Homo-oligomer: A and B are copies of this chain.
Amino acid sequence: MTIEEELEIITRNVEEYISEEELVAKLKKSRQEKRPLRIKAGFDPTAPDLHLGHTVLLNKLRQFQDLGHEVYFLIGDFTAMIGDPTGRSEVRKALTREEVLKNAETYKEQVFKILDPEKTKVVFNSQWLGRMSAEDMVRLTAKYTVARMLERDDFKKRFREGIPIFIHEFIYPLMQGYDSVALEADIELGGTDQRFNLLVARDIQREYGQEPEVIMMLPILEGLDGVQKMSKSLGNYVGITEPPNQMYGKLMSISDELMWRYYQLLSNLSPAEIEKKKREVQEGRYHPKRAKMDLAFEIVARFHGVEAAKKAEEEFERVFAKKGLPEDMPEMVIVTQDPKLKITRILTDTRMARSNAEAKRLVQQGGVRWDGERVTDINAEIPCDDKEHILRVGKKKFCRVRFDVRE
């Protein structure tokens, strides 16, 4: 393979990278010295439930591995173990070492569905940051100015709006940069939303006398809604460990437009093959629903195998296609801690009823069906299981409902 071919694969679907010249030089040097490049990608140990959004980056890491390079899967445990020292955020509780290690195991189980374990080094930044003294930290913070840090979009916005920025928040990007120094990273991958921090890492490496890493920014995958970024907290995600039927059904719920975006970012098809499919749809020789089913099939097969994908497709056909339900039903995820919920609560949570009073009236009038069964008792309770359900109100209002039960 030529350098040009390697470059084409590496940069495919990458939104932005800095810089091509440096990347080519690194690839050449790697060949000359027969030394694999060190590819860094950082992950937050507090949220080990990976979804398809994460796989855009993981797939790219895998490509590097297939080209013979070495991936440093960096778990940013140092700051996670500190938590939120201001005590403002309930969510960012400090993790113990045990929790970090447990989360890391969960990560590994998931990422090794994509990454090659042989060419992956899982590292924790507490290994070097935990050994730093206060003095080392002062020296690190002397590498960057307040004004430059305030150029980061979110800081700029908060500063302008008078929303407090605590000083340690300025240190976190510097520590992330120092991770690159500790790893002597050649290349770092991140989302486009990490642009600022990635640039900082280059500066910090320079300050510590290293050649700056090449930074590659991958596009952020939109969630099932096609608008916001895929994220667990927004409920618009497909987890890579979700059961096959659920994964398949969620993927079938996306718009045709989003389908092509998912093809581009998630499918293993080459750009040429995707282009061909698109053309066929435009020419009416390939039904968009079929295209969506093929995409859903490919992704379910990747995480659960071909057999499971086949079964999921059959189940989908049975439940939806054969019931004559509309294809464009909205999908709602209800986050709850309860093992079961009242039907009226479900009606309001899904916006199928505008108020509790309306919900009660709809039930009493006999217009509400749960998975096809009429519900007439306003006190009826629905178990919050992990299946997908169909909620119907009247003749025309449909909605898919799933539960996200939190302990």
Contact = CB atoms under 8 A, between A and B. Distances in A.
The winner among A129, A145, A149 for most chain B CB atoms within 10 A is A145
Contact of A164 (B85, B145, B166): B145
Contacts of A78: 135
A185 B42 CA distance: 42
A208 to B, nearest CB: 12
Given A146-B159, A147-B165, A130 B141 contact: no
Kindly report how many copies of this chain are found in the complex they form together. Answer: 2
A170 interface: yes
B138 A130 contact: no
Nearest to A86: B142
A269 interface: no
Interface string A190-220: 0000000000000000000000000000000
A134 B146 CA distance: 19
A219 B167 CA distance: 31
Contact of A144 (B146, B147, B167): B167
A168 B142 contact: yes
Contact of A168 (B130, B141, B155, B165): B141
A149 B146 CA distance: 11
Contacts of A25: none
A171 interface: yes
Contacts of A166: 141-146
A137 interface: yes
A174 B165 contact: no
Contacts of A357: none
B132 A145 contact: no
A338 interface: no
Interface string A105-149: 000000000000000000000000110111111110111111101
B137 A164 contact: no
A397 to B, nearest CB: 48
Interface string A56-83: 0000000000000000000000110110
B85 A139 contact: yes
A155 B144 CA distance: 15
B138 A165 contact: no
Interface string A150-166: 10000100010010111
6 contacts: A84-B142, A130-B134, A134-B136, A137-B138, A146-B165, A147-B162
Given A132-B134, A149-B167, A167-B174, 9 more contacts: A81-B135, A82-B139, A130-B134, A133-B134, A141-B171, A142-B166, A142-B168, A144-B167, A146-B170
